[in-house]
Structure 1
Amino acid sequence: MSASISTADLYDDRGDELQSVSMQFQNLGGRARFGGPVRTVRCHRDNALLKSILGTPGEGAVLVVDGGGALESALVGDLIAGLGVENGWAGIVVHGVIRDRAAIAELPIGVKALGSNPAKSGKTGAGESDVPVSFGGVDFRPGAMLWSDEDGILVER
């Protein structure tokens, strides 16, 4: 996402072509503005699958993680977010919580989540990847473009 265009301006230009996430996510990564094609993971309190995906070339994509809004344990920590940086991911949107938020705030990657919790998640690999997921009134389809900044998150319909 260009640093010069805001989600508000993008919405003014494209309106009904875009979906706006209604949930109030926190900006927790070192980049408040980010965007790219959507990749998805659906997992509940288990981050092994999303870790393996962030360990592959991201090519500027945004990993949208549907953790069901669970607040009991973190799906992303500094090591996993660091994998995203190393592999060229533009950002991570977590419908759940992260940990290591001070360290993640220093990384050059966009991270949005509902908040933080120091508790670790499971590591069984349960979940699905590259499937449509929905939260915050938005359907996230793999390949759709996503834009995120201080105002919120927009996704192509």
Structure 2
Amino acid sequence: MKDLLPDLCDYYPQDIRFLPLTLLDYGCHTPFGGQIVTLRCFEDNSLVRDILSTAGDGKVLFIDGHGSCRRALLGDQLALLAVKNNWQGIIVNGAIRDVATLAQLPLGVKALAACPIKTDKRQMGEINVVLNIAETLIYPNDYLYADLNGVILASAALDLNVLKTEP
């Protein structure tokens, strides 16, 4: 089902939060979703590598780069690491790079923009903190669902089996 979010919003109107942020799709997989791991960092993706080096079964990394598009918080090498460790997707409130490669990887990726410049490496950031993006709270361990229609959040996993299956 390519248009997952409209059906989820119709079926679970009281259980979801819409993220009103214009993100572009860069990954090969859409729709995608999973339990959220949060990271807040600014122009430093050291902790992105640390997180994506762990098992990501059923998880989505949500990176709050403070909306900066001056440095790319995700590139091909980190995306390959995410695929290797079974992450479902990555959302970046900031920039990414290596977009042609990302478009070929079995991973959901959304970001504000592309930027060819790498980040600094200072091991700075905060993991599993509540993020406030576009006046929407994003909690660690909540669930995220994304497709070409956008991103929604829920405090518990939504049962996708209740949705229609016809195109």
Match status 1:38 vs 2:36: yes
The one-letter code sitting in structure 2 at the alignment partner of 1:129 is I
Which residue is 2:106 aligned to? 108
Match status 1:142 vs 2:146: no
For residues 43-67 of structure 1, the C-alpha deviation after alignment (integer angstroms, 9 at most, x for no partner) is: 0000000111001100120000000
Runs of 4+ in structure 1 deviating by more than 6 angstroms, as ranges, are none
Offset, 1:4? 6.3
TM norm structure 1 = 0.95
Which residue is 2:161 aligned to? none
Match status 1:77 vs 2:79: no
Check conservation: 2:3, 2:149, Cα contact below 8 A.
no
- Counterparts of 1:48-87 in structure 2 under 5 Å? 48-87=46-85
Check conservation: 2:33, 2:88, Cα contact below 8 A.
yes
Cα distance in 1 for residues equivalent to 2:5 and 2:125: 31
Offset, 1:136? 2.4
The one-letter code sitting in structure 2 at the alignment partner of 1:152 is G
Offset, 1:137? 2.9
Which residue is 1:17 aligned to? 15
Cα distance in 2 for residues equivalent to 1:146 and 1:73: 25
Identity over aligned pairs, percent? 37
Which residue is 1:28 aligned to? 26
Unmatched runs of 5 consecutive residues or more in structure 1:
none
Unmatched runs of 5 consecutive residues or more in structure 2:
156-167
Question: Closer, same or farther in 2 for the Cα pair 1:77/1:4, shift >3 Å?
Answer: closer
Aligned residue among 139, 154, 157 for 1:156: 154
- Helix, strand or coil: the match of 1:56? coil
Q: How many residues align?
A: 155
Cα distance in 2 for residues equivalent to 1:48 and 1:86: 18
TM norm structure 2 = 0.90
CA-atom RMSD in angstroms: 1.1
- Helix, strand or coil: the match of 2:14? helix
Cα distance in 2 for residues equivalent to 1:4 and 1:103: 22
The one-letter code sitting in structure 2 at the alignment partner of 1:13 is Y
My pick for the range that moved more, 91-100 or 13-22, is 13-22
